[in-house]
Structure 1
Amino acid sequence: MRKVLLVLVILLAVGLVAADRLGVRVAQNEIGKQVAAQYQLSQRPDVTIHGIPFLTQAVGGDYDKIDVAIGDWTEQGVTVHGVKIEMRGVNAPLSQVTSGNAESVTARTATASAVLPYSVIKERAPKEVKGIAPKGDDLQVELTGAVLGFPVTGTAIVKVKPTAKGISITPVSVGSNGSSQIPLALVQRQLTWTVPVANLPVGSRITAIQPTPEGLRVAATADNVRLNDLPNA
């Protein structure tokens, strides 16, 4: 009898684990479908629901952390790569999730991050900018050409800053290779530009920028997010 009970307990445990994992997949697929529909995405994003057991979270409708990997994202003709959204304190009633209704799905905070490639930044740069690379918290650009009639060949350090219109890029120092030193004010007048990506898909403005070897890693955080209220792409 003890052996029979032991086998039954093991089978029950295996069944619960299987049900738990199946429930995770169903919920992840449904949330992915909702995000794809909300943002008119061509492909369903990858969704990861953290926390074990899942069924306990599902019954209560409260999840500690849900990650959504969207991939590429385009705003005002500018495409960023590797867009990820980390949602914390998610409330998603099971009945809403399984029915494909996002009306009651909310998150205490939603943080989106992405990489803006240097090639995309250079496309928007003045023609005198020939190359862009990270330099600590700033960027270093290679310059060749003329600024207001003054020849310029060398490098400049530029600062990046999030604004309401996008990411502003402004020279803060200029070095030259044998040419006359040009006043910084003149350089800033001609070689300041903006990449028009101000928001990420949590309905919030970009607030953090960090140069990396691949490009600028940008991030935006929104509080008390309703999935159904997020703007379409």
Structure 2
Amino acid sequence: MRALRVLLIVVVILGALFVVADRVAVHFAEGEAADRLKASENLASTPDVDIKGFPFLTQVAGGSLDDVEVGIASYQADTGKPGRTIRIDDLKADMKGVEFSGDYSSATAATATGTATIAYDELLKTAESEPTEVAPGVTARITGLSDGGNGKIKVAVQGAVSSLGIKQTVSVLSSVSVVDNKVEVHADSLPSLAGAAIAEDRIRTITDFQQAVDRLPGGIVLDKVEAAQNGVRITVKGSHVKLAG
């Protein structure tokens, strides 16, 4: 009986040591992966990397991690226009089936899904903010974007009749969608500005616009987009996504 108790104590101690070693190893691996990702994506701050699953060491032995979550506080995505980027906030991605090299210099996920936010003031930079003539003597421009509820964006449009010195700001609800890896804003109905007769194609040059969001981390791309309280919430996806290397 005493020998059995001793054996059980030894098993418990060895199990505890294995758990400690496993947690130390996963903490080291998360730090290495975060540093590699920061360098490869030229990030301003170190991202969060959370390797899921237990035990970690058996996953390492198999050369593949089941589930890795990555969090990037801020990322400058490409807009397709030279020298111009758009800020993506709070990017969270869930990577599945991550294969990696022994020194963590390269890692590729079989699939990835995630979410992020583009603030309204950031998206507004892509809209027509300079007064543009939409009818003889009538100019218009977008002055603000906000949450319109039910997945819609509220677009504030200011119209002006120069000859009368009249300025008027109206709001229109717009749908937002993903088209060819671009965030597209399209007015559901068109505003009437200062009672002027304005052709639809002219006013839509102001109310409707697109913003490309390219070169996201690891090659993920836009999937869906929806208006939310603080900005548009985007959903991203990808396959053979590179975390590093």
Tell me the equivalent position of 2:46.
44
Tell me the equivalent position of 1:137.
151
Rate the CA distance shift 1:196–1:8 in 2: closer, same or farther, 3 A.
Answer: same
Tell me the equivalent position of 2:30.
28
Tell me the equivalent position of 1:101.
105
Which of 61-70 and 1-10 deviates more? 1-10
CA RMSD of aligned residues (A): 2.8
> AA paired with 1:101?
S
Rate the CA distance shift 1:152–1:198 in 2: closer, same or farther, 3 A.
Answer: farther
Rate the CA distance shift 1:118–1:131 in 2: closer, same or farther, 3 A.
Answer: same
Q: Equivalent residue of 1:198, what SS?
A: coil
Tell me the equivalent position of 1:4.
6
Larger of the two Rg values belongs to structure:
2
CA distance in 2, matches of 1:106, 1:165: 22
Q: Which structure 2 residues correspond to residues 104-119 of structure 1 after superposition, within 5 A?
A: 105-119=107-121
Structure 1, unaligned stretches of length 5 or more? Answer: none
Rate the CA distance shift 1:199–1:40 in 2: closer, same or farther, 3 A.
Answer: closer
Give how far 1:116 is off: 0.1
> AA paired with 1:213?
Q
Tell me the equivalent position of 1:213.
229
Q: Does 1:16 align with 2:29?
A: no
Give how far 1:24 is off: 1.0
Q: Give the aligned length.
A: 223
Q: Does 1:86 align with 2:94?
A: yes
Structure 2, unaligned stretches of length 5 or more? Answer: 78-83, 130-140
Q: Structure 1 vs Structure 2: percent identity of aligned residues? A: 26
> AA paired with 2:219?
G
> AA paired with 1:87?
M
Q: Equivalent residue of 2:44, what SS?
A: coil
Residues 28 and 47 of structure 1 are in contact (CA less than 8 Å); yes or no, is this contact kept in structure 2?
Answer: yes
> AA paired with 1:223?
S
Which of 146-155 and 200-209 deviates more? 146-155
Give how far 1:39 is off: 0.8
> AA paired with 2:27?
R
CA distance in 2, matches of 1:154, 1:169: 17
List per-residue Cα deviations over 1:153-211 (Å, max 9, x = no partner). 32212222334473232323134598457554332123322334234213133121121
Residues 162 and 198 of structure 1 are in contact (CA less than 8 Å); yes or no, is this contact kept in structure 2?
Answer: no
Residues 142 and 206 of structure 2 are in contact (CA less than 8 Å); yes or no, is this contact kept in structure 1?
Answer: no
CA distance in 2, matches of 1:228, 1:148: 55
- Which one of the candidate residues 38, 56, 61 is aligned to 1:54? 56
List per-residue Cα deviations over 1:64-110 (Å, max 9, x = no partner). 21011121000232111111221111122xxx24x2421xx221112
Which of 130-139 and 80-89 deviates more? 130-139
- Which one of the candidate residues 70, 73, 79 is aligned to 2:72? 70
